[in-house]
Amino acid sequence: MSSVLFDSPGPKARIRHRIYGAAGLLAFAALIGFIVLRFADEGQFDGKLWSWLQYETVQLELLSALGNTLRAFAAGAVLALVFGAIFAAGRLSDHAIFRVPSTVIVEFFRAVPLVVMIFFFHFGISLGAPFYSVVLGLTLYNGSVLAEVFRAGVLSLPSGQGEAAYAIGMRKTQVMQTVLLPQALRAMLPAIISQLVVLLKDTALGFLITYEELLRYARFLGGIAEFGRPLVPITIVVAAMYIVMCLALTGLAKYLEGRNRRNKKAPIPDKKPDDVVLANEPMN
Amino acid sequence: MDVLFDNLDLYGPGFLTTIELFALAAVGSLILGTILAMLRVSPVPVLRAGGTTYVTLFRNTPLTLIFFFFAFAFPLLKIVQIDFFVSAVVALTLYTSAFVCEVVRSGINTVPVGQAEAGRAIGLTFGQILASIVLPQATRSVVPPMVSTMIALIKNTTIASGFSVVEAGAIQSYLSERGYSVMIGLLWVALGFVILVIPMTLLQRSLEKRWSVAR
């Protein structure tokens, strides 16, 4: 294997690499071993602490908490996409009346921490059910980021695309709708889905304002004495659930990216792919 | 205005703690993230796998969950006793490292292999290639996204407020105790973050323009 940093290894280097590999393996094993030992010493693997998994009520409640997480995600995702589309159009507008306010709004909501926004809606103006505050916060923040993604997508297209459309007499709206947007959406689909992963993770902030989502339920279950306060086991289970959900979304993004690359009709952005990827590394 | 000036004793230390959290976690995650990136681009498969596993796990876990772990579950394991501030720094560092690692790695990957091969062909040593060919180009493409990662980090410090570290995000609970309007108070917090973040965004934009490599 040859990369920028390393030449293909010769016989000496191969031996050295094997030694590094063994040392690394030992270090990782020691780290994991220490953690497992700690868990075992404190009795985190005791059957009692995992017994809650067998109860049907607990399983159903866990599922309903997962449902709440997904509900906030779905509502937030749809609204954020709409918000992003509107404000990307605003930022790309030729009229300063639309462009300037859109820019200010997008920059503002990108700069304010999501927690502060959610607290503002929940404690500040008391929107009522925590669900609304969570979804509104997710929409405004991720919508603003998505607006930037859409805009970058349109701007990354070869300029000839728009020029050709203008040349055959299309108006700006037509150029956008029939030429630029379809291509930009396709090129940006992986970036959009990566942002949705961020949105999914951010639903966990609902925990802070007592929205009954996965973490809230984990906190509740972790305090039940009857199960031996299984905080560590439930944290592990909930973490696994988040990781699986996010990996599924990431997998979808990778699949779409691969399909885009194979498809000859897919637009070729003006910039090199790596630059585009770097520019669109989602804000976590 | 009253809400801000009457409670300067809250806002001052609050934002100071935010900046402290940010500075410590930034240094920590830049170090850990760079080490992880080195693991991920190393020629040794075991080290690569280790780095990849770390990044996959932490990138796909909500930061709130990591805070949750350190606030509630970690004390049960009785490894070391740490206070909330330290655990907040640790949680932020562990989470941000995964993102720093990806930025560094993709930065190294933007340098075409041919560049290093050309360096080897004219007889440069590994150190020379790294110092005068690869790193300068990698840095140029890395700094703008690294600034975004740091902006995300400074905003993420607010999650600590939900887990009892007194910083800018926690101001609202004190305001309501003192009987001031939480809404106005949080607007000031939001404004404070805009003031912290906008210069970083401007820096990022100008670096992106000035440093974009013409290839």
pLDDT above 60 for A125: yes
Residues B126-136 have a mean pLDDT of 84
Given pLDDT bands bounded at 50, 70 and 90, which one contains residue A226?
Answer: confident
Query: Residue A209: pLDDT above 50?
Result: yes
pLDDT of residue B100: 92
What digits encode the pLDDT tens for the residues A41-68?
A: 777 777 777 777 777 788 888 888 899 9
Beta-carbon count within 10 A of B92 CB:
26
As a whole number, mean pLDDT of residues B46-75 equals 88
Say whether B108 sits in a helix, a strand or coil. helix
Across the interface, of B41, B61, B117, the residue whose CB is closest to A242 is B61
Q: Is the pLDDT of residue B114 over 80?
A: yes
8 Å CB contact of A277 and B46:
no
Region A214-242: mean pLDDT is 84
Which residue of A lies nearest to B198 if distances are taken between CA atoms? Answer: A111
Residue indicated by tokens 């007194």: B166
At residue A274 the predicted structure's pLDDT band, cuts being 50, 70 and 90, is very low
Q: What angle do CA B110, B113, B115 make, to 5 degrees?
A: 95
**Contact call for A123 and B172, based on CB within 8 A:** yes
Q: Do B186 and A124 touch (CB under 8 A)?
A: yes
pLDDT at A141: 92
**Residue B3: what pLDDT?**
66
Residues within 8 A of B (CB atoms), A 132-191 only: none
Cα A195 from Cα A200, distance rounded (Å)? 9
When pLDDT is averaged across residues B2-31 and rounded to a whole number, the result is 82
| Residue B206 CB contacts under 8 Å (≥ 6 apart), including other chains | none
State yes or no: pLDDT of B213 exceeds 60: no
| pTM score, whole prediction | 0.86
Q: Cβ separation of B155 and A114 shorter than 8 Å?
A: yes
Above 60 in pLDDT, residue B99?
A: yes
In the prediction, which pLDDT does B166 show? 62
Q: How far is CA B153 from CA B98, B147, B167, in A?
A: 12, 10, 14
Q: Which two tokens stand for residue A143?
A: 């919508």
Closest CA to A130 of A85, A75, A167, A183: A75
Residue A108 in tokens: 């503002």
**Band (B92; pLDDT cuts 50, 70, 90):** very high
CA nearest to B33, candidates B108, B89, B94: B94
* Range with the poorest average pLDDT among A18-32, A233-247, A261-275, B184-198: A261-275
ipTM of the complex: 0.83
Which residue of chain A is at minimal alpha-carbon distance from B143?
A278
Averaged over B137-148, what is the pLDDT? 85
Q: Cβ A107–B198 below 8 Å, yes or no?
A: yes
Residues 6+ apart with CB under 8 A from A141: A109, A110, A112, A114, A117, A202
H or E element, residue B79: none
Nearest CB neighbour to A116, from listed B76, B158, B208 = B158
Greater pLDDT, A226 or A283: A226
Q: Which of B23-27, B77-81, B108-112, B180-184 has the highest mean pLDDT?
A: B23-27
- Specify whether the CB–CB gap between A157 and A121 falls below 8 A: no
Record: contact A113-B72, CB cut-off 8 A: no
> How many whole angstroms separate alpha carbon B36 and alpha carbon B150?
17
Q: What band does B195 get if pLDDT is binned at 50, 70 and 90?
A: confident
Residue A172: C-alpha distances to residues A87, A103, A162 (Å): 16, 20, 9
Chain A contacts of B110, Cβ < 8 Å? Answer: 272, 274-275, 278
How would you class B49 by CB atoms within 10 Å of its CB: exposed for 0-12, middle for 13-18, buried for 19 or more?
A: middle
pLDDT mean over B114-142: 85
In chain A, the percentage of residues whose pLDDT exceeds 70 is 91
The pLDDT > 70 percentage for chain B reads: 88
